[in-house]
Each structure stands twice: as C-alpha cells, then as structure tokens.
Amino acid sequence: MGLAGLIAGLALAAQQAAAPPLTPDLSPPTPDPAAWWSPDALKPSPEVDPLYGRRLGRHEQPIPIANGVDPLLYRLWGLQPLQNQLVRRGEMILEVWARPARGVRQAVIRVTMRRDGRAFVQARAGLGCCAPEIERRVDINAELAADQVPPLKALGGKALWGAPRDVTVDYGDGSVSPVCLDGVAWDVTLLVAGQARHLRRACDDAEVGSIAEALAPALGAAIGRDARFDAVFQHGADVSRQQDAYDQLIASGGRLKPAANARAQPPAVPLPPANEEASDEPSLATDKPLY
C-alpha cells in the first residue's frame, strides 16, 4: 500500500471512531387509519338488546312513536331508542316510565317478547335531574321465566289500549280530578307489529288504576332482581289499591274522559306480506369505505 492509501485508511478510521453509535428507532409505528374503524364488534347478549341487529326490510316502515321520550334520552339510560325497535308479527314491547311529580328518582321498564317465545326485561332506575348523564343508575337486564310470559302476551288484546292517551277523572257528579301536583305520573307504551299505543296517567288512584293491567306485569318482571331498584317502588308490583279505586269509580257512575289537550294516537303502518318479511339475522359490519 502506498503512502496515499495509508493516509486514506487512517482518515477513514478516524472518521468511524468519531461517528456516534447507531441507536434503534423506538418511535411507535404509524397506525393504519382504516384499522381504527374496524375493531372486533362485540354482539350484545339478548338480555341487553333482545332485537339486536335488525334492519328494515324492503317493504317495512318505521312505526311512529309519540310517547314523549326523545331517542337521545334512551341512550342516556343505556337503552336502544324505542323509535329504532323493529317489531314483527307475533312480537311485542311493553314500556313503562315512572316519573314522580316531586323528586328526581325515575325508572323505566321495558319488556320485549320475541316470536321465538323468549321474553326479556330491561329496567333502569336513576336520578335524572341536574347532570347530562343519569346519576346513580341501576341496570337490570334479564330473561323472563316461562310463567311470566303468558300474562304479558295477553296484554295486546286488552281493551285499555283503546282508551284516550290523556284523560281526566269524571266522578259522575260533574266534578273532575284536580291537577296532579304530587305522586307519580305513568307513561305506558305498547308496541306491536305496525302500531304503537301510548297512555299517560297522572297520580290519581282511579286514573292509574285504569292501566293497572299493564303496570302489574311490567313491574313484576323487574321487581325482585335488585334491591336498589326495588327501593324506588314502595309497594313493589302491587297496584291493587289503584285497581280498586278505578273499579269503584266505574261502579259509582264515574268515568275517564279525554283531557282537553288529549292527543291522537300515532297512525298504524301497513305490514308487508308475511312471506316478504325480512330475516331477523343481523347484518354484518363492514370495514369498507362508505363511498
């Protein structure tokens, strides 16, 4: 090696000795934006969402719901909005809201009967007052026992659903019930294939007794599953006092008459032919772009 080569070799060695050692790149890899939209979607159990994944068929229409509960309020209670529930032939949803005139304790009970013969109760109790969320919420999600199903199934044919949505009590002597300033107001909604019926009753015993046939099985489906929920209802599922008050009202010549501001029931929607009814199988999620 000549002098020039020796000098070049020494220069290269000096350069390598002065270079800082290589360090591994510990920065996290750049995430795939598309992967953010495609996690594994967990299918809820039937107790949590009995009608999970249903989609309107080609000839099906949403059923109008006018029970005064906004879809977003259902979300705060951890429930699918009733407006999104797709009920088909042989199925039924019974929903009961208990709203005290004084205080912030509220409760909602929803009983869902599917055409496969299974029935489920979803019940919530909480403090609905001053915060966007529902405070101290109690959740109940359970399947009903077989002996609880027949009384609920029979509710669809009861005459009470033909009553006006809002009523006043006429005691038969020209006097009517006063405005409710205390007690509990009840909202009861029955949802069947193609149609919904909503009844609101205030705290007068006779007025509440007119819907006792619906209240008793709905309360009975939820009471006894969580002591915190039961504490909201002093008399449990017993509405016999209200039923007796209504029976006495009718026996004495009194009646329930439409309130001055009574609203019409929402219209029914036509049902598709039975052989064109959509499948109950949920549609699968996709991670493809929307367009």
Would you say 172 and 252 are in contact if contact means Cβ atoms under 8 Å apart? Answer: yes
Q: Where would I find the H helices in the chain?
A: 3-18, 71-76, 149-153, 205-209, 212-222, 227-230, 240-251
- Enumerate the domain spans of the chain: 71-262
CA max distance for the chain: 130
| 79-115 confidence digits (pLDDT tens) | 999 999 999 999 999 999 998 877 788 999 999 999 9
Torsion of CA 202, 207, 212, 216, to 10 degrees: 30
Rounded to 5°, the CA angle 153-189-156 comes to: 25
E-state strands within the chain: 92-100, 105-113, 119-127, 135-143, 167-170, 184-192, 195-201, 255-258
The pairs formed by 224-227 with CB atoms below 8 angstroms and a separation of 24 or more are 225/121, 225/123, 225/140, 225/142, 226/138, 226/140
Rounded to 5°, the CA angle 191-194-196 comes to: 35
Q: What's the rounded Cα separation, in Å, for the pair 69 and 108?
A: 11
Rounded to 5°, the CA angle 85-196-233 comes to: 80
**Digits of tens for pLDDT over the chain (291 positions)?**
566 666 666 666 666 655 566 677 777 778 788 777 776 778 899 999 999 988 888 888 889 999 999 999 999 999 999 999 999 999 999 999 998 877 788 999 999 999 999 999 999 999 887 777 788 899 999 999 999 999 899 998 899 999 999 998 888 776 666 566 667 889 999 999 999 999 999 878 999 999 999 999 999 999 999 999 999 998 999 999 999 999 999 999 999 989 888 888 989 998 888 766 666 555 444 444 444
Would the pTM of this model clear 0.85, i.e. be above it? Answer: no
Q: What's the rounded Cα separation, in Å, for the pair 233 and 123?
A: 13
CA neighbours closer than 13 Å in the CB half-sphere of residue 18 = 6
